[in-house]
C-alpha cells in the first residue's frame, strides 16, 4: 500500500465535493417542488421529492462518493470535516489548506453546473432559487441568527462524532460510508427548515453568490458555525469515548498495483 500524492487527494476531494453539491443542492433546485400537469383533472400535481428527498440526496452523495474515492483522500468533501479531523489528530495540518481549496473549487463548479442547467428553464430566476443557506428572512422557517448558529454548531459536531467513530478500526469494516451518509441525511431532516442545512462551508459557498438575496452577506455564519462544531467534536471525541486513534489518519491509501505510472518507472520507488 502507498499513500496517494497530494494532487490525487486534491482531485478526489474536488470530485467528491462537486458531486455532493450537484447532487444535493441540485435535488433541491430541480426536484424538491416539481409540479406537473394532470391531464385528467386539469390541475397541477406535486411530484417533487420534498425535504425527505433532498435529505436523502445529500446523504447518498456522501455515501456513494465515499465508496468511490474515499480510499484516495479519506472522503472529507467539507472544510469543517477536514479541520475537525485535524483537531482530533487524525489528519495532517499541512494538508488542510489544499483540501479546503479543492473542496471549495469542486463545490463552486457544482453550483455553476446547477445554475447553467437551471437557467435553461424558461422564466427561471437564480435570485432566491439556488438552495442557499440563511437565517432570518433567508431561513425556510424564519429562524433567527442565534438559532441557526446553535443548530449548525450542534449538528456539525454530531456529524464529526459519527465520522470519527465510524472510521475507527474497531467499527464494522466497510460500513463507515453508510453510517456517515445516513447521519448527513438525518441532519438534513432536522435542519432544512432551520437553515436549509449547511454543516459544510463549501456547500454554502457553492451556491450563495448565485442565489443572491442576502445569502452572500450571511455566508460567514456557515463557515464559522460548522468549523466551531467540528473543532469541538475533534477536541472532545477522545475525552468522551476513550478511543484514541491519532495514529490512524482519515486519509487515503492505494494499492501500488492500482497506480498508473509511466513505462519504465518503478511504482515502489520513493517519491
- Predicted confidence band at 252 (pLDDT cuts at 50, 70, 90)? low
The average pLDDT across 157-166 equals: 96
Per-residue confidence (pLDDT) for residue 271, from 0 to 100 = 45
Angle of helix 145-166 versus helix 176-195 axis, rounded to 10: 180
* Cα separation, 102 vs 77, whole angstroms: 9
The percent of residues above 70 in pLDDT, for the chain, comes to 83
- From 76-85, 97-106, 168-177, 240-249, the region with the lowest mean pLDDT: 240-249
Q: Who wins on pLDDT, 208 or 257?
A: 208
Per-residue confidence (pLDDT) for residue 112, from 0 to 100 = 98
Task: Label residues 158-173 b or e (16+ Cβ within 10 Å = b).
Answer: bbbbbbbbbbeeeeee
The average pLDDT across 162-179 equals: 85
Beta carbons within 8 Å of 98's beta carbon, 6+ residues apart: 6, 9, 10
CATH top-level class of 6-247? mainly alpha
- Predicted confidence band at 232 (pLDDT cuts at 50, 70, 90)? very high
Average pLDDT, the chain: 89
The average pLDDT across 155-182 equals: 89
Q: What is the pLDDT of residues 103-114, one digit of tens each?
A: 999 999 999 999
Task: Label residues 216-253 b or e (16+ Cβ within 10 Å = b).
Answer: eebbebbbebbbbbbbbbbeebeeeeeeebeeebbbbe
Terminal-residue alpha carbon distance, the chain: 14
- Predicted confidence band at 59 (pLDDT cuts at 50, 70, 90)? very high
* Cα separation, 176 vs 63, whole angstroms: 9
* Cα separation, 49 vs 33, whole angstroms: 7
Predicted confidence (pLDDT) at residue 257 exceeds the cutoff of 60:
no
Predicted confidence (pLDDT) at residue 212 exceeds the cutoff of 90:
yes
Dmax of the chain from CA atoms?
Answer: 70
3-state SS class at 35: strand
DSSP state string for 114-150: HHHHHTTSTT---TT-S----SGGGSTT---HHHHHH
Amino acid at each position: 500500500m502507498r499513500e496517494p500524492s497530494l494532487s490525487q487527494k486534491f482531485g478526489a476531494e474536488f470530485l467528491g465535493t462537486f458531486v455532493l453539491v450537484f447532487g444535493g443542492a441540485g435535488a433541491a433546485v430541480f426536484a424538491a417542488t416539481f409540479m406537473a400537469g394532470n391531464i385528467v383533472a386539469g390541475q397541477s400535481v406535486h411530484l417533487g421529492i420534498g425535504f425527505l428527498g433532498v435529505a436523502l440526496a445529500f446523504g447518498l452523495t456522501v455515501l456513494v462518493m465515499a465508496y468511490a474515492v474515499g480510499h484516495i483522500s479519506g472522503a472529507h468533501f467539507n472544510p469543517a470535516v477536514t479541520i475537525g479531523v485535524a483537531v482530533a489528530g487524525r489528519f495532517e495540518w499541512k494538508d488542510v489548506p489544499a483540501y479546503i481549496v479543492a473542496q471549495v473549487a469542486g463545490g463552486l463548479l457544482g453550483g455553476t453546473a446547477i445554475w447553467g442547467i437551471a437557467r435553461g428553464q424558461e422564466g427561471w430566476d437564480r435570485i432566491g432559487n439556488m438552495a442557499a443557506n440563511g437565517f432570518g428572512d433567508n431561513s425556510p422557517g424564519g429562524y433567527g441568527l442565534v438559532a441557526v448558529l446553535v443548530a449548525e454548531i450542534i449538528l456539525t459536531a454530531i456529524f464529526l462524532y459519527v465520522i470519527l467513530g465510524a472510521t475507527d478500526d474497531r467499527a464494522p469494516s466497510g460500513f463507515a460510508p453508510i453510517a456517515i451518509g445516513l447521519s448527513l441525511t438525518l441532519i438534513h431532516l432536522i435542519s432544512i427548515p432551520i437553515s436549509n442545512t449547511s454543516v459544510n462551508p463549501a456547500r454554502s459557498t457553492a451556491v450563495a453568490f448565485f442565489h443572491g438575496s442576502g445569502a452572500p452577506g450571511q455566508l460567514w455564519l456557515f463557515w464559522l458555525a460548522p468549523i466551531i462544531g467540528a473543532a469541538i467534536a475533534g477536541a472532545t471525541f477522545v475525552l468522551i469515548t476513550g478511543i484514541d486513534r491519532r495514529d490512524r489518519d482519515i486519509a487515503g491509501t492505494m494499492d501500488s498495483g492500482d497506480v498508473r505510472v509511466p513505462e519504465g518507472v518503478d511504482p515502489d520507488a520513493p517519491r
